[in-house]
Each structure stands twice: as C-alpha cells, then as structure tokens.
C-alpha cells in the first residue's frame, strides 16, 4: 500500500443508492411536491437524510448508468445491485424509497 493512504473511512450509511444524474438532467426535475427537484434531492428531503457519510443512508448522483430510459431515472441500490429501478417522473417518493429498501418508517 502506498504511503499516506488511509486504509478505511467510516460512514453511517446503511444503504448506498446510485441515481443517474444524466437521466435526472434530461427530466429537468420532475420530483418532489412541486415537481421541480431532481430525484436525488427529493429522496434526501423526503427521507430527511443529511449529505455526506454521516447520513443514515447515501443517495449519490453518478454520471451515467448507461440505461437511459425515456421519462424516467435509473436508480440502483448498492445492496441489491442486480435489480435496477426505472423511476418515472412524478413517482411517489415513499413508494420509491420502499422499493429501494430505504423505508422512512
């Protein structure tokens, strides 16, 4: 191992969710109460998650996941990476959170 690198950094995340930023940008919002927020921001707000590694779960916007559905955003739960979700614009955020294993209850 190279000198000066940390071997581990702790986080409080129970789950890590990857949200395609390219899909979100194509929709130009589409989520939240007014329909103007991106999926990542709307999920964080709905679940009362903070940003960074001290949050209970991580919702991370990534460049492109390569699926590119029309009118939807590609989302991957890191713990269940074999099944990807295609979330249409205006979808109920509680339903999305439940499907990702991020139950607010």
Full DSSP string of 55-71: SSSEEEEES--S---TT
Q: Where are the domains of the chain?
A: 17-100
pLDDT of residue 105: 52
pLDDT of residue 8: 85
Q: What is the pTM of this model?
A: 0.87
H-helix or E-strand spanning residue 26: helix 21-27
Q: Mean pLDDT over all residues of the chain?
A: 90
Strand 16-20 relative to strand 72-77, pairing: antiparallel
What does the pLDDT average to over 84-98?
A: 95
């Amino acid at each position: 191992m190279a000198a000066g690198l940390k071997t581990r950094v702790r986080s409080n995340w129970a789950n890590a969710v990857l949200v395609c930023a390219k899909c979100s940008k194509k929709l130009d919002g589409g989520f939240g109460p007014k329909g103007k927020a991106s999926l990542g921001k709307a999920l964080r707000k709905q679940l009362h998650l903070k940003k960074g590694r001290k949050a209970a779960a991580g919702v991370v916007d990534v460049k492109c996941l390569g699926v590119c559905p029309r009118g939807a955003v590609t989302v991957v739960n890191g713990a269940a990476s074999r099944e990807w979700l295609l979330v249409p614009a205006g979808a109920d955020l509680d339903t999305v959170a439940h499907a990702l294993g991020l139950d607010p209850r």
